[in-house]
Homo-oligomer: A and B are copies of this chain.
Amino acid sequence: MKDQRHAPLHTPTGGHEARGVAALIAPDILDLLDSDPASIPAETEEMHPADLADVAEALPRDRVAQLLSALSADRAAGVLEYLDEDLRSEILETMTTRQAAELVTQMTPDERADVLEELEEETAGDILSEIPKQEREETERLLAYEPESAGGLMTTEFVSVAENTRVEEALAAVRRIARGGRREAMHAIYATDQEGRLKGVMSLHELLAAPDGALVSEIAWEEVVTVPPDMDREEVARLTSNYDLVILPVVDSAHRIIGVVTVDDVIDALVEEHTEDVQRFGGMEALDEPYMQIGFAAMIKKRGGWLAVLLIGEMLTASVMQGFEMELNKALVLTIFIPLIISSGGNSGSQATSLIIRAMALGEVRLRDWWRVALRELPSGLVLGAILGILGVIRIVVWQQLWPGTYGEHYLLVAAVVGIALLGVVTFGSLAGSMLPFVLRRIGFDPASASAPFVATLVDVTGLVIYFYAAAFLLQGTLL
């Protein structure tokens, strides 16, 4: 193994623990930066760039650039890829344009585009103008794609060979490319025709297994899963997952391969989408930045907007309550159960919405299945509502026995109102919560915009109406 002196950084536990290790190593690196920066490349040679990035993040901010310049440009570019976005932008902005340009030139094309996208437009433009023509044009091409599309995820360094190449020539070509030092995505080799159109694919594994003398066209699979550059990254992730891919070619309208999406970027996209989904389901705009880093004003904006909209929606409940003021006046006991009843509707709606959002995202349920879902949610809601209704009735009867007089002489009627209202509200909540994602998709929104608070607000108003009508019906002539 290569000579190396550091204690293993990759503890089997990894993750948080590895960061702990990074914090332990950082002082050593700091000492070396002061005493013998030239030794740093050898000292850190065996470290994964992700770990070296963790070490960099544990350094004082003004020493990070120093660490990067102690490393080879190639290595520094690798570390930069794993560095926290904000820190990375900060470092690049403090460097001279020339230094920054040298660094980003060494990055893979997709990472280079991502890094430049994070910078202020002017700085990015300056750096871009200093990098070599070929890389500059490549980067400009990538920057033109939507960041959340296949084009935005893809890299342009992949390996293709002519379909009429022989296996041994192809393998020699692959070895030449591998030795060339660029960091091509090499899990798959693409076969192309004379016009550069994608004609087949084989894994590196399959190329190695192929008999000498065979043509690449005989080995390659003709059916290739491809995507257009404007495909949304969620769809890219779904294809990657469905077909167990590690690399996915992006083709233009003439079926020429223009780049590849690698699985690591798909995973990052999945994790980001997940964060967005959870935040939106929580009732806010997705932050798009780490919680501890987003600015105060930006956070207030992303949360306050939805809170205000929901409040305005919820104001309808005040109107409904006013509409039933006479009933409330006569039977104050009714008010006592309002929070209980409307929250049960919100809860059942939140459950149903979360189920359908995921079932839609996974492709288990499609738009045209709405009636199938309704036919499942109606009995579910009725059974769940009956369970809660019975619990509500028990609560009232038990309290009345323990503290006689709590709910007045008509407590059984009150219990019946609460029980029936719970049945109705939970049934309505389940139905409304499950149908909301369909409605959103039908009118062109992302079904995942249906949030728990949104459903709860929707159901609260109806829940009150159901409750008061149940009361009006059952208490007529007694309390009302």
Chain A positions within 8 Å of B, measured between CB atoms, are: 1-2, 4, 8-10, 12-16, 18-19, 46-48, 50-51, 82, 163, 171, 174-175, 178-179, 184, 186-187, 199-200, 203-206, 208-209, 217-218, 220-228, 231, 235, 237-246, 251, 263-264, 266-268, 270-271, 274-275, 277-279, 281-284, 287, 290-292, 296, 299-300, 303-304, 306-308, 310-312, 314-315, 317-318, 321-322, 325, 328-329, 332, 335-340, 342-344, 346-348, 350-351, 353-359, 362-366, 369, 372-373, 376, 379-380, 383-384, 387-388, 391-392, 395, 406, 422, 426, 451-453, 456-457, 460, 464
Docked Cα-Cα span, A94 to B322, in Å, equals: 63
B-chain residues with CB within 8 Å of residue A457 when the two chains form the complex: 343, 347
Q: By the criterion CB–CB under 8 Å, are B342 and A339 in contact?
A: yes
Nearest to A171 among chain B residues (CB) is B208
Nearest to A273 among chain B residues (CB) is B274
B-chain residues with CB within 8 Å of residue A372 when the two chains form the complex: 292
Q: By the criterion CB–CB under 8 Å, are A205 and B186 in contact?
A: yes
How many copies of the shown chain assemble into the complex?
2
B-chain residues with CB within 8 Å of residue A178 when the two chains form the complex: 205-206, 208-209
CB distance from A50 to the nearest CB of B (A): 5
Nearest to A452 among chain B residues (CB) is B452
Q: By the criterion CB–CB under 8 Å, are B392 and A12 in contact?
A: no
Q: By the criterion CB–CB under 8 Å, are A290 and B362 in contact?
A: yes
Q: By the criterion CB–CB under 8 Å, are B314 and A339 in contact?
A: yes
Q: By the criterion CB–CB under 8 Å, are B339 and A281 in contact?
A: no
B-chain residues with CB within 8 Å of residue A16 when the two chains form the complex: 363, 366
Q: By the criterion CB–CB under 8 Å, are A9 and B223 in contact?
A: yes
Q: By the criterion CB–CB under 8 Å, are B303 and A351 in contact?
A: yes
Nearest to A454 among chain B residues (CB) is B347
Q: By the criterion CB–CB under 8 Å, are A12 and B350 in contact?
A: no
B-chain residues with CB within 8 Å of residue A312 when the two chains form the complex: 391
Nearest to A179 among chain B residues (CB) is B209
Docked Cα-Cα span, A177 to B457, in Å, equals: 61
B-chain residues with CB within 8 Å of residue A163 when the two chains form the complex: 1
Could you write out 22 A-B pairs with CB less than 8 Å apart? A2-B222, A14-B239, A15-B363, A19-B363, A50-B243, A178-B205, A178-B206, A204-B204, A241-B267, A246-B263, A281-B452, A287-B355, A290-B359, A306-B347, A307-B348, A311-B344, A314-B344, A318-B340, A322-B406, A332-B332, A338-B339, A346-B456
CB distance from A28 to the nearest CB of B (A): 16
Docked Cα-Cα span, A270 to B263, in Å, equals: 13
B-chain residues with CB within 8 Å of residue A363 when the two chains form the complex: 15-16, 19
CB distance from A376 to the nearest CB of B (A): 8
Docked Cα-Cα span, A351 to B277, in Å, equals: 12
Residue in contact with A50 in the complex, picked from B1, B242, B357, CB distance below 8 Å: B242
Q: By the criterion CB–CB under 8 Å, are A239 and B317 in contact?
A: no
B-chain residues with CB within 8 Å of residue A235 when the two chains form the complex: 13-15
Q: By the criterion CB–CB under 8 Å, are A387 and B304 in contact?
A: yes
Q: By the criterion CB–CB under 8 Å, are B296 and A239 in contact?
A: no
B-chain residues with CB within 8 Å of residue A395 when the two chains form the complex: 315, 318
Q: By the criterion CB–CB under 8 Å, are B279 and A384 in contact?
A: no
Q: By the criterion CB–CB under 8 Å, are B322 and A336 in contact?
A: yes
Asked if A208 meets B308 with Cβ closer than 8 Å, knowing A270-B271, A300-B380, A464-B339, the reply is no
Most chain B C-beta atoms within 10 Å of own C-beta, residue among A4, A14, A339: A339
Docked Cα-Cα span, A224 to B10, in Å, equals: 7
Q: By the criterion CB–CB under 8 Å, are B220 and A1 in contact?
A: yes
Nearest to A426 among chain B residues (CB) is B307
Most chain B C-beta atoms within 10 Å of own C-beta, residue among A235, A244, A366: A244
Q: By the criterion CB–CB under 8 Å, are A354 and B278 in contact?
A: yes
Q: By the criterion CB–CB under 8 Å, are A310 and B362 in contact?
A: no
Closest 4 interchain pairs by CB?
A282-B354, A178-B209, A452-B452, A244-B264
B-chain residues with CB within 8 Å of residue A46 when the two chains form the complex: 221-223
B-chain residues with CB within 8 Å of residue A379 when the two chains form the complex: 296
CB distance from A108 to the nearest CB of B (A): 11
Docked Cα-Cα span, A346 to B277, in Å, equals: 19
Docked Cα-Cα span, A32 to B156, in Å, equals: 42
B-chain residues with CB within 8 Å of residue A8 when the two chains form the complex: 223
Docked Cα-Cα span, A13 to B231, in Å, equals: 8
Most chain B C-beta atoms within 10 Å of own C-beta, residue among A268, A362, A406: A362
Asked if A364 meets B15 with Cβ closer than 8 Å, knowing A1-B200, A10-B226, the reply is no
Q: By the criterion CB–CB under 8 Å, are B303 and A343 in contact?
A: no
B-chain residues with CB within 8 Å of residue A340 when the two chains form the complex: 311, 314-315, 317-318
Docked Cα-Cα span, A271 to B383, in Å, equals: 30
